Amino acid sequence: MALLFVAASLQLAAQEDAEYLKALVSGNRLSFKYSLGVKGKAPVVMSGKAVIDGDCYSARGGQIELYCDGKTKWTVDKESKEVYVEPSEGTRDFLADPAAWIDKVSDLKVVDNTASGYYHDDFQNADISFRFSSLTTSPLTGSTKGFVFDTSALGPEWVVTDLR
């Protein structure tokens, strides 16, 4: 009997964590620090800071930066000096819309201002662990400032691939 109670409590806690994370993202500007770990033959760890403001988002950290103004997505590789520009439709990354990925997240835990768990990314065929910390909400701004990457300011050594 006690085992059934514990199992039911764990399931309820997981549902509450998912609802809490969805509520944070829904209708709010959300800023947070992130750490992602991709498991596999060549493990990869990325960390940085992200901001989500409606359909706009940015993620900066390490070699790769992502910017999206809700219509266009820029993937910037600072080390290789490359920028990929593409329409943002259908490119909702986990960092950009964690609430949309909730159903794929396993072992979701939300404690204080930190969320963690892991998910399987079918496109990359990879298991990815994540930790979001310093989760901070504020009102949506409705502005694209900080979510656009200006390729016109780049030098001739940069390669810009525009896929729009």
Q: How many CA atoms lie within 13 A of 48 on its CB side?
A: 14
User: Over the stretch 27-38, which tens digit does the pLDDT of each residue have?
Assistant: 889 899 988 888
Q: Report the distance separating Cα 68 and Cα 53, nearest Å.
A: 10
User: Over the stretch 91-101, which tens digit does the pLDDT of each residue have?
Assistant: 556 666 666 66
By residue count, the chain amounts to: 164
pLDDT band at 81 (very low <50, low <70, confident <90, very high): very high
pLDDT band at 49 (very low <50, low <70, confident <90, very high): very high
**Coil, strand or helix: which one is 92?**
coil
Q: Give the CATH architecture of domain 2-162.
A: Clam (2.50)
Contact in structure between 129 and 106 (CB atoms under 8 Å): no
User: Over the stretch 9-22, which tens digit does the pLDDT of each residue have?
Assistant: 233 344 577 777 77
Helix (H) or strand (E) holding 10: helix 2-25
Q: Report the distance separating Cα 83 and Cα 7, nearest Å.
A: 47
pLDDT exceeds 80 at position 43:
no
In degrees and rounded to multiples of 5, residue 24 shows phi and psi of -60, -45
User: Over the stretch 109-164, which tens digit does the pLDDT of each residue have?
Assistant: 888 888 888 888 777 788 888 888 998 889 999 899 999 999 999 999 999 999 99
- What is the pTM for the complete model shown? 0.79
